[in-house]
Amino acid sequence: MIGSKYKLKSDLQIILLMIEQKFKKVKINKIIEILKKMNYPKLSNYKTLKTIKNKIEIEIKKLNNYLNEKTNNFIVKNNLQKYISTDLKGGSIDNDDLNEIITETYKKNPEQTINNYQLDSDLSNDYAKVYHDKNTNQTIISHKGTDGLLDWTNNLMYASGLYDFTNRSKQAKKAQNKTAAKYGNENLSTIGHSQGSINARKYGKNSKEIINVNPAFNPLLINEYYRNPNEYNVRSSKDIVSFPMMIKNNLQSITNPKWSRNHNLTVNAESNNIIKEHSPDILKRFGNKKIGKK
């Protein structure tokens, strides 16, 4: 049964790849024909590649959850825990996982499972979500950006240098400290998007790495220019929020050129849409390139 699920997942991933790569010779009728042969009629009933793609991604996520549960049950049932090392090193984060975790950070009811990452509800709050992969011992705490009109007050506090006094900053610090206490800093990745990067930068200094996506930056605050050795900044070339970051990046490219090349990454914009260019979806443009500490 599990073997057939793995095969099904593999087949669906191949079809997804065909759709995403937009192979010129592959028409929707051919995709539907393949799905019918796989005895997947509910997927073959859809009429557009976009809809089929979305449905396949949902099915793959369900299969991942099923296979992870079966694997864990097998380990427990056969008492194999003692043969599996608990001293595991967290690896670099896949861009798709990173993008999805940032997206889920904005939701009141986020996904409980993202591939091998499980949501830690006890540590998560309105401003930060914590996910842990017990297979690799990798932990991610993701600080979300501005969410709603009232949250813009915090941006004003940041502009005036009073951000540390906000409830948002205090909640972020609390979540960061509790996450580090439970899982340790060695395999902890601290993520920040937009306004969330303020907290990631400040409270993630002792974690394995800080990864900021389209980060907020106040060029008037001197302490913002200090370099965190474990910090990686990713931005779109046309992102407005992180535009002031170019001042810091240019200075670092002069004073620390080698470090800057690996830690300050700018991806070319695909449009003039300020919402699209500020979205964490820009991570998809890096393809298989890993971001963060290897």
- pLDDT tens digits for 169-226? 999 999 999 999 999 998 899 999 999 999 999 999 999 999 999 999 888 887 777 7
Q: Does position 267 have pLDDT exceeding 70, yes or no?
A: yes
- Residue boundaries of the structural domains of the chain: 2-83, 95-286
Q: Does position 103 have pLDDT exceeding 50, yes or no?
A: yes
User: By three-state DSSP, how is residue 64 classified?
Assistant: helix
What pLDDT sits at residue 21? 63
Indicate the Cα dihedral angle 92, 294, 238, 205, nearest 10°.
90
Overall average pLDDT of the 124-145 stretch = 93
- Residues, the chain: 294
pLDDT in tens, 42-78: 777 777 778 888 888 888 888 777 777 777 676 666 6
What value does the CA radius of gyration of the chain take, rounded to a whole number of Å? 21
- Packing angle, helices 167-183 and 196-203, rounded to 10: 50
CA separation for the pair 228, 281 (Å, rounded): 25
In what order do the strands lie in the sheet containing 113-114? 113-114, 117-119, 128-133, 138-143, 188-193, 209-213, 231-236, 264-267
Q: For residue 170, give Cα distances in angstroms to 21, 124, 189, 199, 204.
A: 44, 14, 19, 9, 14
Quote the tokens at residue 228: 């965190």
Overall average pLDDT of the 94-112 stretch = 91
What pLDDT sits at residue 226? 72
Structure letter (DSSP) for residue 113:
E
Quote the tokens at residue 269: 């914009």
According to DSSP, the residues that pair with 132 across neighbouring strands are 118, 139
CA angle (178, 119, 77) in 5-degree steps: 110
- Residue 213 neighbours by CB under 8 Å, 6+ apart: 98, 102, 191, 192, 193, 194, 197, 234, 235, 280, 282, 283
Under CATH, to which class is 95-286 assigned? Answer: alpha beta
Amino acid at 193: H
List, in sequence order, the alpha helices (H) in 226-271.
245-255, 257-263
Per the confidence metrics, is the pTM higher than 0.75? no
The total of other beta-carbon atoms located within 10 Å of residue 289's CB is 10
Overall average pLDDT of the 266-293 stretch = 88
CA 192 to chain centroid, in Å, comes to 9
CB 283 within 8 A of CB 244: no
CA separation for the pair 228, 219 (Å, rounded): 16
Q: For residue 134, give Cα distances in angstroms to 90, 113, 128, 281, 284.
A: 10, 12, 20, 26, 25
CA separation for the pair 7, 144 (Å, rounded): 36
Quote the tokens at residue 82: 């003692």
Give the confidence band of 252 by pLDDT, cuts at 50, 70, 90. confident
What pLDDT sits at residue 87? 41
Indicate the Cα dihedral angle 266, 270, 276, 282, nearest 10°.
-40
* DSSP H/E element including 238: none
